[in-house]
Amino acid sequence: MLCLDDCLDFCELEQDEVEAIAEHEHVPVIVAAEIGCELLKSNDGVVKLHTMILDDIELALAHGRTEHATELAMTYRHFQGAHPIPGYQVSSL
């Protein structure tokens, strides 16, 4: 039987990134790991993952959960570095 750590090792996501997917999709973390793994296989999927995390940040802010929004922003910065949006160049400004 696979555990969460096995799934995280298999996909190219960190635990906090998978937790953000689980939060967005309202699914258990182990299911979110599978979703994330599949979405990383296509450019459209990578864009969808960016959108999920950004949606989580927006929702946290809308509910006054600023500490959680900050945690998610850190998660997003890492995700953005590891899985940039295909064809999108981040400005150095």
pLDDT tens column, 23-63: 999 999 999 999 999 999 999 999 999 999 999 999 999 99
pLDDT greater at residue 90 or residue 54: 54
How far CA 68 is from CA of 11, 34, 59, 72, 83, in Å, comes to 24, 23, 10, 6, 22
In a domain, 37, yes or no: yes
Please indicate, yes or no, if residue 89 is contained in any of the structural domains.
no
Does residue 8 surpass a pLDDT of 90? Answer: no
Q: How many domains does the chain contain in total?
A: 1
Under the banding of pLDDT at 50, 70 and 90, the label for residue 89 is low
Whole-model pTM: value is: 0.87
Is residue 56 a part of any domain in this protein?
A: yes
Residue 41 lies in a domain: yes
Q: Residue 52 falls within a domain, yes or no?
A: yes
Is 9 within a domain?
no
Residue 8 lies in a domain: no
pLDDT at 1 over 70: no
Q: What is the DSSP string of 16-84?
A: HHHHHHHHHHT--HHHHHHHHHHHTTSHHHHHHHHHHHHHHHHHHHHTT-HHHHHHHHHHHHHHHHHSP
Q: Tell me what the pLDDT averaged over the chain comes to.
A: 90
Specify if 92 maps to a domain.
no
Which pLDDT does position 20 carry in this prediction? Answer: 97
Domain span holding position 21:
16-82
